[in-house]
Amino acid sequence: MKGYVGKILYVNLTDKTLREEPIDPKVAEKYIGGKGYALYLLYYKYLKEYMKKGISPKDINPLGPENVLIFATGPITGVAGAPSPGRYHVMALRAPLTGSIASANSGGEFGPFLKFAGYDMVVIEGASDKPVYLEIIDGHAEIKDASDLWGKNVFDTTAVLKKRVAEKGGKNISVACIGPAGENQVLFAAIMNDDHRAAGRTGVGAIMGSKKLKAIVVSGTHEIELADPEGFRELSKKLIERMRKNPVTGEGLPKYGTAVLVNIINQVGAFPYKNWQGAYNPDAEKISGETLAEKYLIRRRPCWGCQIGCGRVVSVKFGPYQILYSEGPEYESIWALGSDTGVSDLEAIIKANHLCDELGLDTISMGSTIAAAMELYEKGYIPEEDLQGIDLKFSNPAALVEAVWRTAYKSGFGKMLALGSKRLAEIYGAPDLSMSVKGLEMPAYDPRGIKGIGLEYATANRGGCHVTGYSVSAEVLGIPEKMDPLSYEGKAALVKAFQDFTSVVNSAVNCLFVTFEVNAKDYADLFNTIAGFNFTEQDIFTIGERIYNLERWMMHFYGFSAKDDTLPKRLLTEPVPEGPTKGQIEELDKMLPEYYKLRGWVDGVPTLEKLKELGIEP
- CB 167, CB 161: distance < 8 Å: no
Q: Which is nearer to its own copies, 169 or 389 (CB)?
A: 389
Size of the site for its own copies (CB under 8 A): 36
Q: Which is nearer to its own copies, 323 or 591 (CB)?
A: 323
End-to-end CA distance of the chain: 27
Q: What span, in angstroms and rounded, lies between the C-alpha atoms of 191 and 203?
A: 8
Least distance to its own copies from the beta carbon of 310, Å? 22
Q: H or E segment at 11?
A: strand 7-12
DSSP codes joined into one string, 591-609? THHHHHHHHTEETTEE-HH
In angstroms, the Cα distances linking 183 to 14, 63, 250, 356, 588 are 17, 11, 39, 14, 38
Q: Which is nearer to its own copies, 4 or 428 (CB)?
A: 428
Q: Which stretch binds its own copies (CB under 8 A): 250-258, 281-289, 392-400, 445-453?
A: 392-400
- Site for its own copies contains 550 (CB under 8 A): no
Q: Which is nearer to its own copies, 92 or 323 (CB)?
A: 323
Question: Which distant-in-sequence residues (6+ apart) come within 8 Å of 486 by Cβ?
Answer: 449, 451, 581, 584
The β-bridge relationship of strands 601-602 and 436-437 is: unpaired
Name the DSSP letter for residue 514: G
Least distance to its own copies from the beta carbon of 233, Å? 40
Q: Which stretch binds its own copies (CB under 8 A): 276-284, 396-404, 537-545, 557-565?
A: 396-404
Near its own copies in 411-470, by CB under 8 A: 411-412, 415
- Site for its own copies contains 390 (CB under 8 A): yes
Q: Which x/- pattern, by CB under 8 A, does the window 561-590 give for its own copies?
A: ------------------------------
- Site for its own copies contains 158 (CB under 8 A): no
Coil, strand or helix at 45: helix
- CB 455, CB 592: distance < 8 Å: yes
Q: H or E segment at 18?
A: strand 17-22
Q: What span, in angstroms and rounded, lies between the C-alpha atoms of 435 and 442?
A: 6
**For its own copies, which residue of 24, 29, 66, 156 counts as binding (CB under 8 A)?**
156
- CB 135, CB 122: distance < 8 Å: no
- Site for its own copies contains 142 (CB under 8 A): no
**For its own copies, which residue of 77, 249, 396, 528 counts as binding (CB under 8 A)?**
396
* Phi, psi of 428, deg, nearest 5: -90, 10
- CB 595, CB 282: distance < 8 Å: no
- CB 87, CB 105: distance < 8 Å: yes
Task: Look at residues 85, 74, 443, 496 and name the one whose alpha carbon lies nearest to residue 258.
Answer: 443
- Site for its own copies contains 294 (CB under 8 A): no
Q: Which is nearer to its own copies, 247 or 319 (CB)?
A: 319
**For its own copies, which residue of 71, 116, 188, 321 counts as binding (CB under 8 A)?**
321
Q: What span, in angstroms and rounded, lies between the C-alpha atoms of 504 and 502?
A: 5
Q: Which stretch binds its own copies (CB under 8 A): 67-75, 207-215, 315-323, 571-579?
A: 315-323
- Site for its own copies contains 323 (CB under 8 A): yes
Strand partners for 102: 92
Q: Which is nearer to its own copies, 274 or 406 (CB)?
A: 406
Q: What span, in angstroms and rounded, lies between the C-alpha atoms of 449 and 280?
A: 10
**For its own copies, which residue of 67, 98, 105, 184 counts as binding (CB under 8 A)?**
184
Q: Which is nearer to its own copies, 409 or 557 (CB)?
A: 409
- Site for its own copies contains 405 (CB under 8 A): yes
Q: What span, in angstroms and rounded, lies between the C-alpha atoms of 276 and 579?
A: 13
Least distance to its own copies from the beta carbon of 423, Å? 18
- Site for its own copies contains 59 (CB under 8 A): no
Q: Which stretch binds its own copies (CB under 8 A): 8-16, 236-244, 401-409, 576-584?
A: 401-409
Least distance to its own copies from the beta carbon of 180, Å? 7
Task: Look at residues 3, 73, 526, 525 and name the one whose alpha carbon lies nearest to residue 226.
Answer: 3
Q: Which stretch binds its own copies (CB under 8 A): 126-134, 352-360, 531-539, 597-605?
A: 352-360
Least distance to its own copies from the beta carbon of 383, Å? 13
Q: What span, in angstroms and rounded, lies between the C-alpha atoms of 214 and 104?
A: 18
- CB 138, CB 221: distance < 8 Å: yes
According to DSSP H, which parts of 146-258 are helical?
154-167, 180-183, 204-210, 229-245, 247, 253-256
Least distance to its own copies from the beta carbon of 397, Å? 7
Q: Cis peptide leading into 480, omega within 30 of 0?
A: yes
**For its own copies, which residue of 278, 397, 544, 579 counts as binding (CB under 8 A)?**
397
- CB 127, CB 64: distance < 8 Å: yes
Strand partners for 562: none
**For its own copies, which residue of 391, 432, 578, 603 counts as binding (CB under 8 A)?**
391
- Site for its own copies contains 324 (CB under 8 A): yes
Least distance to its own copies from the beta carbon of 326, Å? 7
**For its own copies, which residue of 44, 233, 294, 325 counts as binding (CB under 8 A)?**
325
**For its own copies, which residue of 388, 487, 538, 573 counts as binding (CB under 8 A)?**
388
* Phi, psi of 325, deg, nearest 5: -145, 125
- Site for its own copies contains 180 (CB under 8 A): yes
Coil, strand or helix at 184: coil
Least distance to its own copies from the beta carbon of 399, Å? 7
**For its own copies, which residue of 27, 227, 398, 562 counts as binding (CB under 8 A)?**
398
- Site for its own copies contains 223 (CB under 8 A): no
CB atoms within 10 A of CB 607: 15
* CA dihedral of residues 503, 181, 363, 311 (deg, nearest 10): -80
**For its own copies, which residue of 19, 55, 142, 151 counts as binding (CB under 8 A)?**
151
Least distance to its own copies from the beta carbon of 242, Å? 38
**For its own copies, which residue of 120, 327, 358, 375 counts as binding (CB under 8 A)?**
358
Least distance to its own copies from the beta carbon of 401, Å? 8
- Site for its own copies contains 409 (CB under 8 A): yes
- Site for its own copies contains 296 (CB under 8 A): no
- Site for its own copies contains 354 (CB under 8 A): yes
Where does this chain bind its own copies (CB under 8 A)? Answer: 151-153, 155-156, 180, 184, 319-326, 348, 354, 358-359, 384, 387-391, 396-399, 401, 405, 409-412, 415
